[in-house]
């Protein structure tokens, strides 16, 4: 089951990277663009629906959302420090956590698709730096 989940995560991120490819060779990302892409990740995190013990968006749901947001903010900090690999690692962690939470037997969030799409777009941009 873990192998299947890992494979699905890899496919999801790969698909997001393909979808996020720029339309022409002149489209390049700057550090500012990368930061804006991570801010879109934060927006996707806020729009996701989280479950906590006792129903939707209870205390644990808030903590899970906050956890993902803090990882995204840490990715932005890594971008300011010119640590592209560390920023990508933080973003991959967001995608992994969101996917695991959405796919769990007792899901902690409704769906990770938009978060994963935004993460893929941000990673693709960072890889151009």
Q: Are 16 and 116 in contact (CB under 8 A)?
A: yes
Of the pLDDT bands very low, low, confident and very high (cuts 50, 70, 90), residue 10 is: low
In the three-class reduction of DSSP (H, G, I as helix; E, B as strand; rest coil), residue 21 is classed as: coil
Q: State the chain's mean pLDDT as an integer.
A: 85
More confident residue, 57 or 82: 82
pLDDT of residue 19 exceeding 60, the answer is no
Write out the residue range of the structural domain in which residue 89 sits.
Answer: 2-21+28-127
Tell me what pLDDT residue 25 has.
47
Q: Are 60 and 108 in contact (CB under 8 A)?
A: yes
Tell me what pLDDT residue 81 has.
98
What is the pTM (predicted TM-score) of this model? 0.78
- E-assigned strand segments in the chain: 51-52, 55-56
Q: How many domains does the chain have?
A: 1
């Amino acid at each position: 089951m873990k192998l299947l989940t890992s494979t699905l995560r890899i496919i999801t991120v790969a698909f997001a990277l393909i979808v996020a490819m720029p339309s022409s060779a002149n489209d390049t990302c700057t550090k500012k663009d990368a930061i804006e892409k991570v801010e879109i990740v934060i927006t996707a995190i806020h729009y996701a629906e989280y479950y906590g013990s006792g129903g939707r968006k209870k205390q644990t749901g808030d903590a899970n959302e906050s956890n993902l947001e803090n990882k995204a903010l840490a990715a932005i900090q890594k971008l300011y420090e010119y640590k592209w690999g560390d920023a990508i690692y933080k973003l991959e962690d967001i995608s992994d956590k969101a996917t695991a939470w959405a796919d769990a037997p007792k899901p902690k969030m409704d769906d990770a698709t938009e978060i994963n799409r935004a993460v893929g777009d941000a990673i693709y941009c960072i890889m151009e730096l």
